[in-house]
């Protein structure tokens, strides 16, 4: 177990990459499914713009402690991301991105490489989620 995040490609991106196919978007997580032609199965890499293994449970707990030391207990990063390490199917939607980005700016200059890697990875996922107009999904 651990924390894995992904952003699914939008319908427009999928239609551009797979001309002649039609897609249906899951309203909860943004994942696209082929509706025409029938019986087409796409790979995980085909439907995601980015997936990221943040770490296992021990890594996430340690990272949470480091971030709590920088931001204090109860930060948005802790509530929305790190405490959901086992929340497969949960999503972080666009209205929450601003709050996360404010906190990420506060930790991005940390001397700890794990903290910087986490901040950089989450900034990248937020950017991709905005571009695709989809949430960040816990997978």
CA neighbor of 1 nearest in space, from 65, 77, 67, 87: 87
pLDDT at 86: 56
Residue 62 has a CB neighbour count (10 Å cut-off) of 13
CB 125 within 8 A of CB 81: no
Can you give the pLDDT at residue 84? 61
Query: Cα separation of 35 and 139, whole Å?
Result: 23
Tens of each residue's pLDDT in the chain, 139 residues = 789 999 999 999 999 999 999 999 999 999 999 999 988 889 999 999 999 999 998 999 999 999 999 999 999 999 999 886 557 778 999 999 999 999 999 998 899 999 999 999 999 999 999 999 999 999 9
Ranges of each domain in the chain? 2-9+45-138
3-state SS assignment for residue 23: strand
């Amino acid at each position: 177990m651990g924390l894995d995040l992904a952003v699914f490609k939008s319908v427009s991106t999928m239609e551009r990459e797979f001309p002649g196919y039609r897609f249906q978007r899951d309203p909860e997580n943004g994942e696209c499914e082929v509706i025409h032609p029938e019986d087409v199965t796409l790979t995980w890499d085909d439907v995601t713009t980015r997936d990221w293994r943040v770490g296992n449970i021990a890594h996430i707990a340690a990272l949470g402690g480091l971030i709590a030391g920088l931001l204090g207990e109860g930060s948005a990063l802790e509530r929305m991301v790190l405490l959901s390490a086992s929340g497969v199917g949960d999503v972080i939607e666009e209205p929450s991105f601003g709050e996360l980005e404010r906190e990420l700016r506060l930790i991005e200059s940390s001397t700890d490489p794990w903290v910087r890697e986490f901040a950089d990875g989450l900034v990248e996922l937020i950017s991709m989620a905005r571009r695709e107009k989809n949430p960040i999904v816990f997978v």
